[in-house]
Homo-oligomer: A and B are copies of this chain.
Amino acid sequence: MAVLRIGHRLVRDDRVTTHAALVSRAFGAERIYMTGIDQSVKDTVNAVGKRWGGNFEVEIIEDWKGVARAWKKSGGKIAHLTMYGINIDDAIEKVRKEEKLLVIIGAEKVPREAYELADYNIAVGNQPHSEIAALAIFLDRVFSGKQLKKEVAGGQLRIVPSEKGKQVEKI
């Protein structure tokens, strides 16, 4: 499972872009491809990976169509998240069966080619909201909520869930 994020307007989008990458990581994707981002976004996400574990990768790319086409050529499928698509509840059973999935999200307006390259155009609700929320809900449904309890190996820190306050263990 990988995520492809199209479009980024420098500086202004840094936090949203970082959120998109961290959600991809925390919700079970292995990699995010991003166009036009600042190296600092990649550094932030890598620092999180070092502290909290796992092998998540940020890949900065230039040609998103090339990445998407190569993905399909190697037998993968593409799900594009858009408020104009089919309701997620009506698509999720089929999508869950796919073995190799690339999820496309857009920063703002997404080029028409994304709709056409996609095997599934999926709406996480038909109301405008946030590509970060859409991505989180999509991954949560694909993994049936199990990603939230998964132990992540290789980190320096681990949280001990608590009712009040913060409890962190060094590993």
Contact = CB atoms under 8 A, between A and B. Distances in A.
A12 interface: yes
Interface residues of A, number: 57
B133 A88 contact: no
Contact of A84 (B112, B126, B130, B162): B162
Given A115-B164, A161-B84, A165-B115, A19 B136 contact: no
Interface in A101-122: 112, 115-116, 118, 121
A10 interface: no
A136 B127 CA distance: 13
Interface string A74-99: 00000000111111111000000000
29 contacts: A15-B15, A15-B16, A16-B16, A19-B129, A19-B130, A19-B133, A22-B129, A23-B129, A26-B127, A26-B133, A27-B129, A84-B166, A85-B161, A85-B163, A87-B161, A88-B148, A89-B149, A116-B164, A124-B148, A126-B159, A129-B136, A130-B136, A132-B133, A133-B135, A134-B136, A136-B136, A137-B137, A137-B140, A140-B140
